[in-house]
Structure 1
Amino acid sequence: MNSGTMLGKASISFSRPVYIQSCASVVGPKEGDGPLKNCFDMICDDPMFGEKKWEAAESAMQKEAAVLAIGKAGLTPDDIRFVFAGDLLAQTIASSFGIAEVGIPFFGLYGACSTMGESLSLGAIAVSAGYGHHILCATSSHFATAEKEFRFPLGYGCQRPLSATWTVTGSAACILSPEAPHPSEIVGSSLLRSTLGSVAITGITTGKVIDFGFRDSLNMGGCMAPAACDTIYRHFEDFGRSVNDYDAVLTGDLGVVGRQILLDLLKEKNIDLSSVHQDCGLLIYDNQKQDTHSGGSGCGCAASVLAAYILPRVVSGFWKRVLFVPTGAMLSKVSFNEGESVAGIAHGVVIEHISKETEV
C-alpha cells in the first residue's frame, strides 16, 4: 500500500509517487490551428466527430481519448480498475455515454472546468490506498454543447464580450499506477517515460467552493480567480513551499481577465506568482489570430494542455516540479436563471519529474 500524509485541512503528500503511465489528447479543428497544434495526439477536422448530435460528438471524443491512453500504456480496458471522468453537461452525459461503451467501472464527476484536477486527485488517492493498480482519469468539453447548455444556441448569434472565453473542443485521459511505466509498455508518441525518468503525482490540495458574488456568466475568469488564489495560497501553506519551489504553476482557464485578477489577489497575500505562472486558456489559442477574446475554457482546456504540453515537459526534465491548478465555475442554467451567483473552485495537483535512479 502506498500511503500518504495529511497536510493542513485539504492537502495530501503521497509517501510514494503515483505515476502517470500514459496520456492522450484529442481536440477539434480550432484547437488544431492553435499554438499547440503539433502536440496533440489527434486533431479531428470534423467538430461533429462523425456523429449527428453535438453531445454524441463529445462522447465520441472522450471515448477516443480514453482508448488512446489505454493503448499507449500497453493495456486493455479489462486492466483498468476504475474510471474517474466528468464533463460540463447535465448529469455528465458526455462521460457516461462515452465511457460506458468501454465497459470499465465508472465514477461520474462534476467539477466544472476543474474536473481534470478532481479526477487526478481522486485517482491518485485510490492508487495510493491500494484500491486499483491502473486508474483512468478523463474529461472533455465541446464548444457547441457548452454554448447550448449554459448560454445560447449557436444559431442565435449572440455577441460575446471581451471578457468571454472560448470553450475548448477537446478531451484528454491519463492512466495512473503505483509503478513507473516500463519501456516495453510504452506505445505511441506521447511518452511518459524517458531515459531520464518518469512523471508522477506527489501531492494534492483539494479546492474549496469560493463565492465572491459574481453574476456574470460571460466572465468565467473573474468568477474562478478567487478560488485559484485560495487553493494556491493554502497549498503553499500546507506544504511549506513558495513560488521558488516550482518551475511552473499552471491554472486551468482563467484567460486574460482571470489571470490578472489571480496575480493581483496573490500579491495582496505577498505572493508574486508572475515569474512562474501560465494559464492553459492562454496557451491553447492564439488570441490575436483566433479571436477567442479572453482565451480558452472548458473541461477539455486544462486537460488537453496537460496531456499535450505539460506532462511531456515534466517527463523530459525541462520542468522538475509543477503545480497544476485547473479551475471551475460552479453554476448551472437553473442556478444562473434564478439569479444565483457563480462560485468557483480549483484543485491543485503536484506533478514531478522522478529521475530514473529514484524510481520506486
Structure 2
Amino acid sequence: MSSHFYGNSLKLENVYIASTGSVCGPLEFQGPLGAYFDKSYTDYHCNEDSFEKAERKMLRDALDICLKREKLKYKDIDLYLGGDLMNQITTVHYLARELPKPFVGIYGACSNFALSMAMSALIIEGGFMNKIVAMVSSHNATAERQYRYPVEYGVQKKDTTTFTATGAVATLLTNQKTPVRVEAITLGKVVDYSQTNPNDMGRAMAPAAYDTIMQHFQDLKRGFEDYDLVVTGDLSTYGHQILKEMLQRKKVNVVHYNDCGCMLYDVNNQEVFQGGSGCACSALVAMGYLYPQLKEKKLKRILVVSTGALLSPMMTNQKESIPCVAHAVSLEVSE
C-alpha cells in the first residue's frame, strides 16, 4: 500500500475514475447544469407506480450508463458500494438484488457521495479489489415523505428549507490509470452544534463542513488556493453563507469556493427554497459537471466536501439535536 496517512486524511496514489453515469429529475434538468447529465426524467414517477421505484430506476439507469461506457457487465465489477436517504438504504439494497457480485451499503445521509467514493478508494488503494462502483441516489418525494411530510399534503415550507435533489450517480473506480484520479480523502467527525430544526439543514451542517475542511487543510498543509474549486455538498444559500463566515472569522482566505446546492439550481427562479440537498446533489454536480472539466484539463484539482445531517425522525420528534458529518474527496488530473 502506497498511500500516506496524515491525521484524518490519506493521500492516495493508485485510485482512478474510469467512468460515471448521471441521471436527474425534471427540476435538475431545468437548472443551469441540466445539459451536463446523461439522462433526465420529465416527472417524479419515472414511468413507475411509486416514487420509491422511480428512485431505484434512476439508480439502475446511472449504473447501466456507467458500465456501458467501459463496455462492462454487472459481473465484471468486484464490488458495489453505495447508499441513499431512505430507511434501511432501501434503494441501493433493492437494486442490489439484481447484482451478481458483493454489495456493501453505507449511510452518511447526504454525505453518501464522498463517503462511498472514499470507502471505495481505500479498498482499491489497499490492493484488495480492482474495480468498484460507488453509487448514490436521492428523490425529493421519497425524502419528503420520510423526513417531513408527503408532498401530496402541500405543507407550507419554511424559509430555511432545502430541496432534496432527485437523481442518481454511479462512478467506477479502478487501479488502472485514467485521466482523473482520487488524490486524497479526509474522513469527517460527527459534529453537533445543538441545532434541532429539521427544516434548517444548512445551519446544522455548516459546522461539520467547517470542521472537515479545516482538518483537510491542516493535515495536508493546504488552503483554498491549492484547489481550482472547493465545493460543499448541500449547504445551499443559507448554510453556504454561514460556512464562509465561520472560515473568515478564523482568517481563512476563502477563494474558489461554491456549494453544490447553489450550483444545481437557479435558486432565484426555481422553487427550490434555499437550494439543493440530498445524496444526488453533490454527486450530480461533482460527476456530471466538474468531472468532465477535469478530464478536459479545464480544472486541475478540486475538493468535494459532501455534508450530511444524520437526523432520525424519531429522535427529532423527541427534540434531540441533529448530529452532522462531512467527508472530503480530492480529485485531480493524472500526471
> Is TM > 0.5 for Structure 1 vs Structure 2?
yes
Q: Does 1:281 align with 2:280?
A: no
1:230-241 → structure 2 map (5 Å cutoff): 230-241=211-222
Deviations 1:157-203 (A, max 9, x none): 1111221111111010100001124xxxxxxxxxxxxxxxx111011
Distance 1:253 1:212 in 2: 17
TM-score by length of 2: 0.98
Distance 1:348 1:155 in 2: 35
Tell me by how many angstroms 1:143 deviates.
0.3
Distance 2:289 2:249 in 1: 30
Answer yes or no: is the 8 Å Cα contact 2:31–2:266 preserved in 1: yes
Helix, strand or coil for the counterpart of 2:274?
Answer: coil
Distance 2:46 2:94 in 1: 15
Distance 1:103 1:49 in 2: 25
**Structure 2 residue aligned with 1:66:** 63
Tell me by how many angstroms 1:291 deviates.
1.8
Amino acid at match of 2:162: T
Q: Which of 42, 45, 49 does residue 45 from structure 1 map onto?
A: 42
Deviations 1:309-352 (A, max 9, x none): 11011111111111110110010111111111112110010100
Distance 1:99 1:30 in 2: 27
Tell me by how many angstroms 1:100 deviates.
2.4
Distance 2:197 2:257 in 1: 25
Distance 1:280 1:71 in 2: 27
**Structure 1 residue aligned with 2:95:** 98
1:244-259 → structure 2 map (5 Å cutoff): 244-259=225-240
Q: Which of 143, 146, 151 does residue 148 from structure 2 map onto?
A: 151
Tell me by how many angstroms 1:305 deviates.
1.1
Distance 1:283 1:201 in 2: 22
**Structure 1 residue aligned with 2:198:** 217
Answer yes or no: is the 8 Å Cα contact 1:229–1:262 preserved in 2: yes
**Structure 2 residue aligned with 1:330:** 310
- Alignment gaps of 5+ in structure 1: 182-197
- Alignment gaps of 5+ in structure 2: none
Distance 1:320 1:310 in 2: 10
**Structure 2 residue aligned with 1:305:** 285
Distance 1:228 1:104 in 2: 34
CA RMSD of superposed structures (Å): 1.0
Amino acid at match of 1:123: S
Distance 2:188 2:97 in 1: 28
Answer yes or no: is the 8 Å Cα contact 1:27–1:40 preserved in 2: yes
Amino acid at match of 1:68: I
The number of equivalent residue pairs is 335
Deviations 1:202-261 (A, max 9, x none): 110001100000011111111110000000000000001122111110100000110011
Answer yes or no: is the 8 Å Cα contact 1:63–1:102 preserved in 2: no
Helix, strand or coil for the counterpart of 2:15?
Answer: strand
Write out the 4+ residue segments of structure 1 that deviate beyond 3 Å after TM superposition. Answer: none
Q: Which of 317, 334, 340 does residue 320 from structure 2 map onto?
A: 340
Tell me by how many angstroms 1:72 deviates.
1.0
TM-score by length of 1: 0.91
Helix, strand or coil for the counterpart of 1:326?
Answer: strand
Amino acid at match of 1:33: Q
Helix, strand or coil for the counterpart of 1:176?
Answer: strand
Distance 2:250 2:71 in 1: 46
Tell me by how many angstroms 1:102 deviates.
2.8
**Structure 1 residue aligned with 2:86:** 89
Answer yes or no: is the 8 Å Cα contact 2:17–2:173 preserved in 1: yes
Q: Does 1:271 align with 2:269?
A: no
Q: Which of 81, 97, 118 does residue 121 from structure 1 map onto?
A: 118
Tell me by how many angstroms 1:74 deviates.
2.1
Distance 1:212 1:232 in 2: 17
Deviations 1:12-32 (A, max 9, x none): 111x24110001100111111
Amino acid at match of 1:350: S
**Structure 2 residue aligned with 1:11:** 9
Distance 1:307 1:100 in 2: 25
Helix, strand or coil for the counterpart of 1:209?
Answer: coil
Distance 1:211 1:35 in 2: 33
Amino acid at match of 2:291: L
Q: Does 1:199 align with 2:180?
A: yes
Distance 1:31 1:243 in 2: 28
Distance 1:137 1:24 in 2: 11
**Structure 2 residue aligned with 1:186:** none
Amino acid at match of 2:10: I
Amino acid at match of 1:118: L
Helix, strand or coil for the counterpart of 1:309?
Answer: helix
Distance 2:59 2:120 in 1: 17
